Structure 1
Amino acid sequence: MTTAYILAHFDDEYFALPMILEERRAGVAQKFLYVADYASADLAQRRLGETRAFLQSQGVAEADIVHVGAGTGAMDGDVRAGAPAALAAARAALAAIPGLDRLVVTAWEGGHPDHDACALIAVRLAQDLGGVRVDQFALYSGRGLRGRLFRAGSPLPENGPVRRVRLPLADWARFALGVRFYPSQWKTWLGLWPTMFLTYLLRGFGSQQLAAGRVGERPHEGALLYERQFGVSYAALQDCRDRVLGAPS
């Protein structure tokens, strides 16, 4: 049994730690594929080094952490524009993984356009693999909020039933302290970390299955966070969806 994580950025794996620990305890092999390209090789190596340090501290081998997006042009912040190339790179990497029976991806939630682009890529990959299961985990969204306000770690009800992942206290402490592995992202964590852990304390950590038809729907009613904060329209993600789900194998 093998699970492959389809992620945009180096640090997205942090939000999935409860799932990673659960899979490790169950003896499931785990692979991590990152599809965003970066503006400079130095930035990519620094970010990749942080991700490797974090995942290796959780028992993941360096060989199982692959930057498939390098050189694809699916740039950080604009993965949707290079999504077909990122899809092809991820598809090639998955072809070398035996026993693959599940994909895990960032949620279809309207928070960051790169995360939603990854959800589209994962849905297409699952189709190419004969319909393997795809699970999603929440990062952040602005559902029911205005301006730059967001909720972190809160699964959207539109994404269906939530499966709660139980963690012993020691793992919650490990989760909370894991941000220390990402010094280059400290400004990001200043805003995300308190909100995220307040949500986890109140509701726990949960994942949801991502059905293929779900990505044909707007993530939620009202303005999406990436529309308000990044100036990216939902139409741009619809265009990405058309190109990814219609791309040839």
Structure 2
Amino acid sequence: MTTVFIFAHQDDDFGVFHEIADAVARKERVVCIYLTNGAWAGVTPQQRNAESLAVLTRLGVNTDDIKFLGTDLDIPDGALVENLDRCWDKLLSEIAALDGVTRIIVPAWEGGHHDHDAAHLVGLALARYLDVLEQSRQYPFYRAPALRFWLSFAAPLEANGKVISRPIGWRERLDYLLLLRHYRSQGPVILKLAPQLAWSYLTKGAQMLQRLNPQRALEAPMERPLLYETWGLCAYEHFRACADPFIARHIVGSPGLEAGAQAQRPSIAEASKTD
């Protein structure tokens, strides 16, 4: 049995530490695939790759099963949606070498970081391609804040469906928080997100997952503006222009949408509400 985790960046794994560790404990093969090179603000892909290697091997993942596809393809941090087809072709060649893939785990469709949403689409397409959609899951990471000074962290969107909650023991919560020290190149980001991860562990103490829903890819993740729009990282219209052809070919190409057609999106009023 093989579980494939699809990530955009080399620290997105901390949103799903418990599921990685749990899969290892169940003697599953765990394969982690990163879709961008993670380079930004003077930090090199090699630095970021080394940090994720340090973290994942401590969780029990085999080094050979940690794939830096985005580094191999030189896909920049922030540009995944513009490189979906290149990413898809390379991903299929990686997956062809794996036996017994039973599920895919991806960041949630939530409008937090546009690379996360693009990684969601790639993982969703892969789950559909491998016919493991029912077994596959998405995990909430971060999105637009309920309060201006506080991101909505590990907060599942109601529109993404029923929440599957897996309790995390107190010892594991501490261990996972200590793993964040290995992301040295991401100090400012970790300083911002670590307190929210700690708060989530304190108040919820669970790994939360939701099923994948291909039809959600036709909708805005939540009411706009999305967080990545607010941060000035990407315009939603640009994201859709890049993503819709990929969605039509690989996610909802049939039934209901011919291959290569433009996905029809609902109005914002029909999009999901925040929780």
Per the normalisation by structure 1, the TM-score is 0.92
CA distance in 2, matches of 1:60, 1:177: 17
Q: Identify the range of structure 1 (177-186 vs 229-238) with the bigger mean alpha-carbon deviation.
A: 229-238
Paired residues for 1:225-240 under 5 Å: 225-240=227-242
Shift of 1:240: 3.0
Report the equivalent of 1:21. 21
Report the equivalent of 1:3. 3
Secondary structure of the corresponding residue to residue 37 of structure 1: coil
Secondary structure of the corresponding residue to residue 150 of structure 1: strand
The residue identity in structure 1 corresponding to 2:238 is: A
Report the equivalent of 1:180. 181
Report the equivalent of 2:93. 92
CA distance in 2, matches of 1:82, 1:73: 10
Report the equivalent of 1:77. 78
Contact between 2:10 and 2:49, CA under 8 Å: does it hold in 1?
A: yes
Report the equivalent of 1:214. 216
RCO (CA 8 Å, sep 6+): is it higher in 1 or 2?
1
The residue identity in structure 2 corresponding to 1:150 is: L
Structure 2 unmatched ranges of 5 or more: 251-258, 260-275
The residue identity in structure 2 corresponding to 1:46 is: Q
Secondary structure of the corresponding residue to residue 127 of structure 2: helix
Per-residue displacement from partner, 1:148-185 (whole Å, max 9, x unpaired)?
75221211122111111112221111111111111111
Note closer, same or farther for the CA distance 1:38–1:189 as it changes in structure 2 (3 Å cut).
Answer: closer
Secondary structure of the corresponding residue to residue 82 of structure 1: helix
Shift of 1:239: 2.2
Secondary structure of the corresponding residue to residue 73 of structure 2: coil
CA distance in 1, matches of 2:147, 2:246: 29
Larger Rg: 2
Secondary structure of the corresponding residue to residue 124 of structure 2: helix
Aligned sequence identity (%): 30
Q: State yes or no: 1:241 paired with 2:243.
A: yes
CA distance in 2, matches of 1:178, 1:72: 28
The residue identity in structure 2 corresponding to 1:72 is: L
Contact between 2:34 and 2:70, CA under 8 Å: does it hold in 1?
A: yes
Paired residues for 1:53-64 under 5 Å: 53-64=54-65
Tell me how many residue pairs correspond in the alignment. Answer: 248
Shift of 1:233: 2.1
CA distance in 1, matches of 2:119, 2:137: 12
The residue identity in structure 1 corresponding to 2:221 is: P
Per-residue displacement from partner, 1:69-116 (whole Å, max 9, x unpaired)?
224353211211111111111121111110001000111100000000
CA distance in 2, matches of 1:24, 1:38: 25
Shift of 1:246: 3.5
Structure 1 unmatched ranges of 5 or more: none
Once superposed, what is the RMSD of the aligned Cα atoms? 2.1
Secondary structure of the corresponding residue to residue 44 of structure 2: helix
The residue identity in structure 2 corresponding to 1:75 is: P
Per-residue displacement from partner, 1:40-97 (whole Å, max 9, x unpaired)?
9971111000000101111111100011122435321121111111111112111111
Shift of 1:218: 1.1
Report the equivalent of 2:169. 168
Contact between 1:108 and 1:219, CA under 8 Å: does it hold in 2?
A: yes
Report the equivalent of 2:264. none
Shift of 1:36: 0.5
Report the equivalent of 2:197. 196
Note closer, same or farther for the CA distance 1:26–1:145 as it changes in structure 2 (3 Å cut).
Answer: same
